[in-house]
Amino acid sequence: MDGDTTALMTTLKVQQENMSEDMKDVRSALKDIAQSLKTLSVLEAKYLETRSRMDDHEARIRKLELSIASNLWVERVMWVTLAGFVSMGVKYLL
């Protein structure tokens, strides 16, 4: 029985050491996960800030595009009017 007890104790000690190593691995993995979550949180905040600035730039670009389109329309009307006056002037000169 004394030999069996010693063998059982040795087996338990080996299992305990193995579990201790597994627990160290689990702790290390949890620390890595925690660090990854912190990094992900920072990246998400930067993404949201960048997205907000991009939306602002998009709105400003659209406003400029509409303004340019409006200015082109006014410019075309002015050219047509000027062409009309020039053609009328040429008609009266000839």
Question: For residue range 23-49, what is the model confidence (pLDDT) as tens digits?
Answer: 999 999 999 999 999 999 999 999 999
CA angle 71, 75, 81 (to 5 degrees): 145
d(C-alpha 30, C-alpha 59), whole Å: 43
Share of the chain above pLDDT 90, in %: 61
Residue 50 has pLDDT above 90, yes or no: yes
Q: Tokens for 32? A: 């890595």
Scan for tokens 């400003």, then name that residue. Answer: 60
* Rounded CA separation 49/55 (Å): 10
Q: Which pLDDT value is given to residue 1? A: 55
Q: Give the pLDDT mean for 66-71.
A: 82
**Which of the four pLDDT bands, split at 50, 70 and 90, describes residue 3?**
confident
Whether 88 has a pLDDT exceeding 90, the answer reads: no
pTM: 0.52
How many Cα neighbours within 13 Å face the side chain of 30? 6
